[in-house]
Structure 1
Amino acid sequence: MQGTLMFFCIYLQFPSRTLFLAACAAGIGGTFQYGYNISVINAPTKPIQHFINETWVQRHGAPISEHHLTLLWSVIVSVFTLGGFLGASLGGTLSIRFGRKGTLLLNNAFSLLATVFMGLSYPTRTFELLIAGRFLVGLNAGIGICVQPLYLGEISPKAYRGVMAMGTSIFITGGIFTGQVIGLRELLGKEDYWPILLSTICIPAILQLIFLPWFPESPRYLLIDKGDRNKCKEALKQLYGSGGFQAEEEDMERERTELIGVKPMRPWQLFSDRSLRWQLTTIIFLCAAQQLNGINAIYFYANYVFTRAGIPEDKIPYVTIGTGACECLTALTCGMLVDSLGRRILIIGGYSLMTLWCIIITLSLTYQDYAPWVPYISMSCIFAFILSFGLGPGGVTNILITELFTQSSRPAAYVTGGSINWLGFFLVGMFFPFIVMGLQQYCFLVFLGVCCLVATYIYFVVPETKNKTFLEIKQEFQSHYGKQKSDKSNQGRSSALLRSTDM
């Protein structure tokens, strides 16, 4: 009930129903798939391992060794991240060639093909199809998590850019929560249902193919990249209404004038452009911190803490769903606050609170046996950490990627940030268990350092971006750090434009 109320409150913040529905249509086949495929693979772990063993016996006449079974399962799980890394690398290029909406629609082909592969794996007794399907699912998620925020950030008016961009986080957490619920034994979590469970990824893809074509392409892409004023004006009318787009059109026209003759940048060109050095450093910091801030450790320790708190083992999946619901509610709450409180206070506050919870949970895990009530402190810290992550870093990071770059560099920035995010996801999946085994509960001291460092960096380096145009944000970075454009011809052209404006 509370989540429905928050969702309704966010709906009321939108300037038009069309804009709200466009965000939903983009999200259901975009970052929802990312969150859903992270969580849905957890429920059928044992049934899939049993299927692999049965297939191995049929092929080789003997059971598979424990080592090979663990290796194959690790490949099935981790190949998702490799597909995501490739998808994030391709997302920017595809969004330039086919448009933001066009890329999202084409991206569903990977999800539908993955559905076929994973659905056929059981009847054909071919577990290799699971590996291929998970790779395609990762490819779909990588492109979606790169292009969907790009689309949402570009179709939103300046005053509503925060709540629109929060759609990325809301659909990620909604996907995680939905995957946890669908994976319950009462639904599709039974042993014989796992092929159906993994094939449900086709549903969001089909929904997006049905609904997204009704909504326009990004107006900024149409005007700045394609130079089509008529289609841009039609898109703005459809999104904002007949009289609510003049200011946005003027802002886009100024940005188009600023970028005349400038081609879309490639990811490697970001590193050689001195005028974008601090924006790029900020994105690298934030995207790396998304994986290294301790949120994975919280979920890793959740079952252990819940068990120590006296929760029966058969009830733990339902408590785990509570963590997913908690993160989903905080994403909705952040969506309501981001355009009123601003980006800086949410992300700095979120990382500061996470630093505090890292200290408390380290102490509570160290002294678990000191008193019967200590495990309950650990359990409370888990929910508090998730709340702090969802209110700040979980949602605001994607907003900043959109706002710190202009049209020519934004796709490359999403490719760079997405690649770092997926690479961090893969490395954490590979090495995190060893870190926990070596440091045990003291691993949270490492995450404490990461959270504290990022909060300090944001405080001293990143300005508030609320209610500012993309050009204003760019100029504020240049004025603060005195960076000149790397391309001298662009600098000369901008000076000429200023002189002509003065005349």
Structure 2
Amino acid sequence: MDINGRVWSEVTWNLVFTVIVIGFGSGFQHGYNTGVLNEIQNVTTTWIRNCEEPSSSIWENREVCDYTWMETTFIWAQIVSTFCLGGMMGRKYSLLFNNVFVLGGGALMFFSQWQQSYGMLIGGRFLIGIAAGIAAGITPMYLSEISPRSARGAIGTVYQLAITATILLSQILGLKSVMGTDELWPFLLAVTIIPGCVQLLSLPFCPDSPKHLYLDNDDSTRAKEALQWLRCRDNVSEDLQEYADEKDRETGLDETGQISTSDLLTKRKWRRPLIIAVMLMLAQQMSGINAIIFYSTDVFINAGLTQDTAQYATLGMGLANVLVTILSIAIVERFGRKTLLLAGLSGMLMCTAGLLMCLKLNQNADVDEQPSMVASLSVVMVVGFVAFFAIGPGPIPWFFVSELFTQRARPAANAVAVGVNWAANFLISWSFQPLSAWLGSNVFVMFAVLQVIFIVYIWRFVPETKDRTVLEILALFQ
């Protein structure tokens, strides 16, 4: 109780307001636009192949300008955009400017049906991908930098909560009984404009990152004012002293400018934290979560569920993801980052083995046999997999990267880590289907092996960062 009491005593209403505006306003673009096309794939693909494109000279091969193109442009836009804005404009103004891409992309997608232009639809997905990539690169840093040390993990988890909640929202709105129809899918894609407008109106009332103001802009006055607003008290000397200590260390090491990506790769003192950051992002994406989410309906059908039952089982999986992420917010400061990472990956390993067993039993069942027990068990294994993912491997890598680096190194480190995250996302989402067709259910053996590798790596090399300053964390590497 002492730990949780200390955590929540530091959380003020001003901080809650700022976290909601930043976390959910930006996380919406990441989560909602990741999940929304999965629900209307057949509807949009049919429309693309039948529409009359005014710029037909550009898009002559309609067979390739379909769902795969929309997913490709979205993911690659994210990879490229993660290296933009964070160090140039600061956290607050980067997110404000980012909504230009949100409004432009949402408008293009909305009007694409009216204009019968699938080029507009793909262009809109590209702009939304840029917005999602910038949000993923900046938001975890922003949340980490405004958080009191004792609540840094809980507040950092909010970004993952926003992603999971908006993926679930996209699944619900994408149902045919809601907005997943030939007439309403443009409105479904345009929903992304709403949080963009809300953030444009509300973020100006929030302060910029006090750490960014103090260490990057050398503006101690505005940093103090921002801290006083966020903490709702006049005495913020402890936070300012922490910033001053970090600044003295950077000055002593002759780190007077932003650390570049090449510095992270070539300087020994940054190499180990960077490898840890990259490995945690790979653990998040390559442990099998995207294969489960993207193709959960097919997994359920292969295990014996009907199409309708499988769709609702997928919604249940999304709800479990949201609920357990909320639980992670409550316990991350009590049990620590490393403990939850190991517990989550270990649980995922057990569920992967259980799911593989279910798929094998279903393959060996007679055609007329009703594998109701196997089907039920497969649902339990998939939901359990997602729940264990949401405990640690889902939320923790997003904010853990910010905890490993000083202020001047943080933008470049986040850009590299998030870029690797999106690249791994792309690799798994594109390779799972051909691998599944080639290996069948044995494809999950590959994920089990990767999970074992990540468990061993985290146990051996990843430090615990709970309730430690950046300088205390960096000292662990020395």
Is TM (by shorter chain) over 0.5?
yes
Deviations 1:214-234 (A, max 9, x none): 110000100000111110110
Q: 2: CA distance between counterparts of 1:407 and 1:185? A: 47
Would you say the 8 A contact 1:166–1:399 is kept in 2? yes
Task: Give the structure 1 partner of residue 46 of structure 2.
Answer: 50
**2:54–2:117: 8 Å Cα contact kept in structure 1?**
no
- Aligned residues of 1:78 and 1:429 also touching (Cα < 8 A): no
Say how many residue pairs are matched. Answer: 463
Question: 2:183 aligns to what?
Answer: 192
Residues 44-443 of structure 1: matches in 2 within 5 Å?
44-56=40-52, 68-69=62-63, 71-90=65-84, 94-243=85-234, 245-260=236-251, 261-262=254-255, 263-307=257-301, 311-368=305-362, 369-370=364-365, 372-443=372-443
Structure 1 residue 442: deviation in Å? 0.9
Q: Which residue of 2 aligns with 1:489?
A: none
Question: Structure 1 residue 474 and structure 2 residue 474: aligned?
Answer: yes
Distance 1:13 1:345, change over 3 A: farther
**Partners in 2 of 1:119 and 1:174 — Cα distance?**
23
C-alpha deviation, 1:431, in angstroms: 1.9
* CA 1:433–1:313: 2 relative to 1, 3 Å: closer
1:191 counterpart SS class: coil
**Letter matched to residue 410 of structure 1:** R
Q: Is the 8 A contact 2:86 2:137 kept in 1?
A: no
Between 229-238 and 293-302, the greater mean CA deviation after superposition? 293-302
Deviation of residue 317 (structure 1)?
2.9
Query: Which residue identity is paired with 1:464?
Result: E
The amino acid across from 1:184 in the alignment is: L
CA distance in 1, matches of 2:172, 2:388: 23
Output the amino acid matched with 1:443.
Answer: V
Q: CA deviation at 1:378?
A: 1.3
Kindly provide the amino acid, as one letter, of the partner of residue 171 in structure 1. A
Q: CA deviation at 1:56?
A: 4.6
CA offset digits 1:415-445 (Å, max 9, x no partner): 0001101111222232221111111111111
The 3 A distance-change label for structure 1 pair 447 and 310 is: closer
Unaligned runs of 5+ in 1: 1-8, 479-503
Gaps of 5+ in 2: 366-370
The DSSP-based 3-state class of the residue aligned with 2:37 is coil
Amino acid in structure 2 at the alignment position of 1:338? V
Cα distance per residue 1:191-240 (max 9 Å; x no partner): 21011111111001011111111110000100000111110110000000
Change in 2 beyond 3 A, CA 1:258/1:446? same
Q: CA, structure 1 residues 380+212, in 2 after alignment: closer, same or farther (shift >3 Å)?
A: same
SS of the residue aligned with 1:213?
A: helix
For residues 67 and 343 of structure 2, what CA distance do their matches in structure 1 show?
Answer: 38
The separation in 2 between residues aligned to 1:10 and 1:44, in whole angstroms, is: 45
**CA separation in 2, counterparts of 1:435 and 1:40?**
24
> Structure 2 CA distance, aligned partners of 1:466 and 1:186?
45
Q: Distance in 2 between matches of 1:28 and 1:22?
A: 10
Residue-by-residue CA offset, 1:40-68 (whole Å, 9 max, x unaligned): 112222222222232259998xxx99x94
Q: Percent identity?
A: 31
Q: 1:345 Cα deviation (Å)?
A: 0.4
Residue 405 of structure 1 aligns with an amino acid whose one-letter code is: F
- Structure 1 residue 71 displacement after superposition: 4.9
Question: 1:487 — aligned with what?
Answer: none
Task: Report the Cα distance in structure 1 between the residues aligned to 2:390 and 2:9, rounded to whole angstroms.
Answer: 20
Contact 1:115 1:133 survives alignment (8 Å): yes
The residue type paired with residue 111 of structure 1 is V
* Structure 1 length-normalised TM: 0.88
Q: Deviations over 1:346-383 (max 9, x none)?
A: 00111111111122211221111445412221111000
Deviation of the 1:243 alpha carbon: 4.2
Which residue number in structure 1 is paired with residue 368 of structure 2? none
When residues 48 and 304 of structure 1 are mapped into structure 2, their CA distance, relative to the original with a 3 A threshold, is closer
**Alpha-carbon distance between aligned partners in 1 of 2:231 and 2:282, rounded to the nearest angstrom:** 35
Deviations 1:392-411 (A, max 9, x none): 10011112101111111111
Cα pair distance change 1:23/1:422, threshold 3 Å: same
Q: Does 1:448 align with 2:448?
A: yes
Flag the 1:306–1:447 CA change in 2: closer, same or farther, 3 A: closer
For residues 236-262 of structure 1, the C-alpha deviation after alignment (integer angstroms, 9 at most, x for no partner) is 000002245221111011111212352
**Is the 2:302–2:359 Cα contact (8 Å) retained in structure 1?**
no
Q: Which residue of 2 aligns with 1:29?
A: 25
Distance 1:13 1:355, change over 3 A: farther
CA 1:51 to 1:10, structure 2 compared with 1: closer, same or farther past 3 Å?
Answer: farther
Compute the displacement of 1:70 (Å). Answer: 5.3
Provide closer, same or farther for how the CA distance between residues 15 and 59 of structure 1 changes in structure 2, counting only shifts above 3 A: closer
Kindly provide the CA deviation profile for residues 179-199 of structure 1, in whole angstroms up to 9, marking residues without a partner as x. Answer: 111112232222210111111
Counterpart Cα distance in 2 of 1:13 and 1:384: 32
Equivalent pair of 2:8/2:151 in contact (CA under 8 Å): no
Contact 1:36 1:179 in 2 (8 A): yes
CA offset digits 1:302-349 (Å, max 9, x no partner): 223433666542343332211111111111111111111101100011
Residue 27 of structure 2 aligns with an amino acid whose one-letter code is T
- Kindly provide the amino acid, as one letter, of the partner of residue 424 in structure 2: G
TM-score (norm 2): 0.92
- Distance change >3 Å, CA 222–CA 136, structure 1 → 2: same
Asked if the contact 2:27/2:162 (under 8 Å) is kept, the reply is yes
Quick one: which amino acid aligns to residue 87 of structure 1? S
**1:449 Cα offset (Å):** 1.3
Q: Distance in 1 between matches of 2:79 and 2:214?
A: 30
* 8 A contact 1:288–1:421 mirrored in 2: yes
Cα distance change on mapping 1:397 and 1:361 into 2, 3 Å: same
Shift of 1:123: 1.2
